[in-house]
Amino acid sequence: MRSPDRRSLVTYGVLVAILISVKILFLILPSRFPLEDQASAFSWITILVIALLGVAGLYLEPRAGFPAMWDDTVSNAQRFGVPTLDGIAYGLVTVLGDLGHPDDVHMQFPQSIAFYMFGAIFLEILLRLFGLTLLTWFFGSIVMRGKAWNTAFWIANIVTSMYEVWPQMMGHLARATRLESPGVVIQSILSPLFIGNLVAGWLYRRYGFLTAIILRIVFYAIWHVAYGGFRPLWLSL
């Protein structure tokens, strides 16, 4: 198996260092997380597991057809500009969808800056660098024997993109009637959450893992930090 290049390893090391730094910050300045189960992501063992899964993803990237983080064929406009614009659009759409029925799922400001930086890196390592890479390699190499890599990627992208959508969809289905159930499924598939994850996976495959990280950081900056942290002010305007 080909080793990841040095720049990717160094960049990944910086990302893991950010996770550790935020963990230490919240040890020094304890805070209440928006959801109770989010605290488990900040345990040392969870951070260690995520870091190791990311390393496995880095080694699988070339075998699964994903470019390196600093691939020379990818321009900086593609690497930074495209996911920034996508993240802005994703954030604005999510904010507009929340205005009618505000959902209190945000960390207070300014702790939200560190919290959602951690969350963006954590989730993208789990879902994209490890999950999407592993599943694409598995479906493409093992199931399809190297004959349909694009199909393998999209199957893997849909599966990993359902990670955040699935619990919400199942909760709505549990309360829906039989006639309402198809509409719940369609609404979940067309939700910004699902589409945003699909786009993050597609960007990763086209331009490298950094694009997925940037998209989520920009999205969180708009949705959770700027809007969530100052929501009373926004809603009063």
- Which of 207, 157, 206, 165 has its CA nearest to residue 189? 165
Predicted pLDDT of residue 8: 93
Q: What are the pLDDT digits (tens) for 59-116? A: 999 999 999 999 999 999 999 999 999 999 999 999 888 887 777 778 888 888 999 9
pLDDT of residue 147: 84
Segment 132-152 shows an average pLDDT of 91
Q: Give the Cα separation of 91 and 192 in Å (integer).
A: 9
- Residue 22: which pLDDT band, with cuts at 50, 70 and 90? very high
pLDDT band with cut points at 50, 70 and 90 for residue 130 = very high
pLDDT of residue 110: 84
Sketch the domain layout of the chain as residue ranges. Answer: 6-236
Tracing tokens 């960390």 back to the chain, one arrives at: 107
Mean pLDDT for the chain? Answer: 89
b vs e for 39-68, b when ≥16 Cβ sit within 10 Å of the residue's Cβ? eebbeeebbeebbebbbebbebbbebbbbb
How many whole angstroms separate alpha carbon 114 and alpha carbon 78? 26
Query: Peptide bond before 30: cis, by omega within 30 degrees of 0?
Result: no
Confidence tier at 212 by pLDDT (50, 70, 90): very high
| Total-model pTM | 0.90
pLDDT, residue 235, reads 58
pLDDT value, residue 40:
80
Pick from 140, 132, 138: which is nearest to 206 by CA? 132
